């Protein structure tokens, strides 16, 4: 599993001429990093007398961020798996008309999954941005830059995941599926860019 590689190994394998891990895995990794940094801000706030008033909210943020972190670290491998399924579908036999149809259906199904996985990453990265915003606003101010870095990398995760949705959409023939996902990623893209500004500009770091 990619999530069990060391940082050094993951970087080296990304750099290689093998297509995996690629940009989609980096997107999921960054969404997971954003969740981790948000969790850290909450964890550095919980149990401190001066933040007693926000204790319950910080426990909730830490728990939600931990759930997102664990989900998103698995998306690194899910993204790679979806890409491998596309390659596998292309390798199906195409000797008879029936085989050709079956292969074509499998390819389309694989591309749909390969578009859906990064769409989920983009959605979760955007959710993490909102969590980070709350942790920054009310949490331990010594960890503000960590939370702010969480926002920066969640923006990168949303936009990177969206590239991977779009590149797969370009191979999908079902117009309703394409239109629905295209509309959603356009909305997510605008929100990620806007939210980053709204959260980070007032910080004046």
Enumerate binding residues for its own copies (CB under 8 A): 2-8, 10-12, 14-17, 19, 22-24, 26-27, 29-30, 32-33, 35-37, 39-40, 43-44, 46, 65-66, 69, 73, 76, 143, 145-146, 148-150, 152-153, 155-156, 159-160, 163-164, 166-167, 205
Minimum CB distance to its own copies smaller for 18 or for 97: 18
Minimum CB distance to its own copies smaller for 134 or for 155: 155
Shortest reach from residue 80's CB to its own copies, in Å? 12
d(CA 186, CA 92) in angstroms, rounded, equals 34
Minimum CB distance to its own copies smaller for 22 or for 85: 22
In a 13 Å sphere around the CA of 72, the CA atoms on its Cβ side amount to 31
∠ at Cα 114 (30, 64), nearest 5°? 40
Shortest reach from residue 12's CB to its own copies, in Å? 8
Shortest reach from residue 120's CB to its own copies, in Å? 17
d(CA 37, CA 22) in angstroms, rounded, equals 23
∠ at Cα 74 (73, 80), nearest 5°? 110
Residue in the structure block whose two tokens are 């999954």: 113
Torsion-angle region of residue 96: left (phi > 0), alpha (psi -120 to 50) or beta? Answer: beta
Minimum CB distance to its own copies smaller for 102 or for 127: 127
Shortest reach from residue 100's CB to its own copies, in Å? 24
Shortest reach from residue 73's CB to its own copies, in Å? 6
Minimum CB distance to its own copies smaller for 20 or for 92: 20
Minimum CB distance to its own copies smaller for 14 or for 108: 14
Q: Could you give phi then psi for residue 173, rounded to 5 degrees?
A: -95, -15
d(CA 23, CA 180) in angstroms, rounded, equals 23
Residue 188, preceding bond cis, omega within 30 degrees? no
Shortest reach from residue 74's CB to its own copies, in Å? 10
């Amino acid at each position: 599993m990619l999530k069990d590689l060391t940082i050094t190994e993951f970087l080296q394998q990304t750099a290689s001429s093998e297509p995996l891990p690629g940009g989609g895995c980096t997107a999921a990794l960054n969404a997971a990093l954003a969740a981790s940094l948000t969790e850290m801000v909450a964890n550095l706030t919980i149990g401190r007398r001066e933040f007693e008033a926000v204790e319950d909210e910080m426990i909730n943020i830490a728990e939600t961020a931990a759930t997102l972190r664990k989900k998103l670290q698995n998306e690194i491998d899910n993204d790679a798996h979806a890409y491998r399924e596309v390659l596998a579908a292309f390798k199906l036999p195409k000797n008879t008309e029936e085989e050709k149809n079956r292969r074509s259906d499998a390819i389309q199904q694989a591309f749909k999954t390969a578009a859906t996985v990064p769409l989920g990453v983009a959605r979760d990265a955007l959710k993490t941005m909102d969590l980070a915003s709350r942790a920054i606003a009310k949490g331990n101010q010594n960890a503000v830059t960590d939370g702010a870095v969480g926002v920066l990398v969640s923006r990168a995760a949303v936009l990177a995941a969206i590239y991977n949705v779009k590149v797969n959409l370009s191979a999908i023939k079902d117009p309703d599926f394409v239109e629905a996902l295209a509309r959603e990623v356009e909305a997510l893209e605008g929100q990620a860019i806007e939210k980053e500004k709204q959260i980070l500009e007032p910080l004046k770091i």
